[in-house]
Amino acid sequence: MIDRRKSLLALAAATLAFGAHAQNTVTRILVGATPGGGTDIVARALAQELSTRLGRQFIVDNRPGAAGNIAAQAVAQAKPDGSTLLLSYTSHVINPTLYGKLPFDPVNDFTPLAGIASLPAILVARPNFPAGNMREFIDVAKAHPGKYNMAIAGLGSANHLAGESLKLDGGIDITGVPYKGTGPALQDVVAGQIDLVISGVASVQQLLKAGKVKALGVTSARRVAEFPHIGPVADVIPGFDFSSWYGLFGPAGMDAAEAEKISAAARAALQSPAMRERFAHEGLIPMGTGRAEFTAFVKSEIPRWGKIVTATGAKPE
């Protein structure tokens, strides 16, 4: 009788465990952007790799709006069982200052899992702009304060703030012109209706190769492998270093073993030939930082971007 009772209890425990596993076989990676954009592209490539490596399905769930805050809030409120993750963008560390008050804490309400990729940007100009590099650009802009303009493809975005820092640190006066997206902004630069724009490598690389825009400098401290001839802005403005980045988060309170398993799989995925090829095509640089390093990075990024938001007076769209 005792043996039969033990068997029934063991069977019940196994059934409950199987049910819990079945409920957790699909993991949603929330993305605070529409399909087809940079964050979505990175999330889908990562989801495919994680599905293969961890033996369960990872799917992308787009939750656009409020510069990523809608998706972030949903993950902050989700169960910390590994079934809901967030593939976030630089906005995760910009928004705390940009919006003033958020319905979640960008550090304490999340489990940072892995840094996925960084995305340098390039300052490009219309083809006939009277400068061919950063030094000439600064000289021309200082000689003609207020004459030139720069497209802002997203108020409060990383590229917008990089542009504002460029003006502050470079001591130049350039008029910002807001646009609803990178595409329209680049179209007007190509057409010569706008002088300048700072845009991610992926968005401008074909235009650069076709000679439809002119590169003046990259926003990262190091040169971009795809365009080694373009010098960093930092060569002229020391310390200038602005790259966007993508990172993977879970809700706060995740089991350490589960968090490490997902983190390790994400970092391993970045070594796959398919991911490296895809990232190179998009102008992305793999990060591959683990949980502790990525957590420290996120904490350091909030005050860094916060100073720029405060100094420039940037407001959300």
Say what the pLDDT of residue 317 is.
65
Of 20-34, 132-146, 237-251, 287-301, give the lowest mean pLDDT range.
Answer: 20-34
**Which of residues 16 and 44 earns the better pLDDT score?**
44
CA–CA separation, 176 and 153 (whole Å): 10
Burial of 290 (0-12, 13-18, 19+ CB in 10 A): middle
| 195 half-sphere exposure, CB direction, 13 A CA radius | 17
Of 15-24, 156-165, 217-226, 245-254, give the lowest mean pLDDT range.
Answer: 15-24
Of 59-63, 226-230, 257-261, give the lowest mean pLDDT range.
Answer: 226-230
Q: Give the rounded percent of residues in the chain with a pLDDT score beyond 90.
A: 73
Length, in residues, of the chain? 317
Whether 158 shows a pLDDT value over 70: the answer reads: yes
* pLDDT-derived band at 16, boundaries 50, 70, 90: very low
Q: What domains, with CATH codes, occur in the chain?
A: 2-118+244-312 (3.40.190.150), 120-235 (3.40.190.10)
**Which of residues 232 and 280 earns the better pLDDT score?**
232
| Closest by Cα among 238, 98, 244, 243 to 169 | 238
Instruction: Kindly report, residue by residue over 259-298, the tens digit of the pLDDT.
Output: 999 999 999 999 999 999 989 888 899 999 999 999 999 9
Q: Which residues pair with 224 in a beta bridge?
A: 227
Whether 33 shows a pLDDT value over 60: the answer reads: yes
* pLDDT-derived band at 108, boundaries 50, 70, 90: very high
Joined together, the tokens standing for residue 280 give: 């190179």
Q: What average pLDDT does the segment 189-210 reach? A: 93
| Cβ pair 116, 270 in contact under 8 A | yes
Cβ-Cβ contacts under 8 Å for 296 (sequence gap 6 or more)? none
Whether 9 shows a pLDDT value over 70: the answer reads: no
Whether 15 shows a pLDDT value over 60: the answer reads: no
Whether 22 shows a pLDDT value over 90: the answer reads: no
Q: What average pLDDT does the segment 188-192 reach? A: 96
Q: What average pLDDT does the segment 48-77 reach? A: 95
Instruction: Kindly report, residue by residue over 67-92, the tens digit of the pLDDT.
Output: 899 999 999 999 999 999 999 999 99
* pLDDT-derived band at 14, boundaries 50, 70, 90: very low
Whether 8 shows a pLDDT value over 50: the answer reads: no
Of 55-64, 80-89, 173-182, give the lowest mean pLDDT range.
Answer: 173-182
Please, what is the average pLDDT of the chain? 89
**Which of residues 29 and 18 earns the better pLDDT score?**
29
Whether 2 shows a pLDDT value over 60: the answer reads: no
Say what the pLDDT of residue 114 is.
98
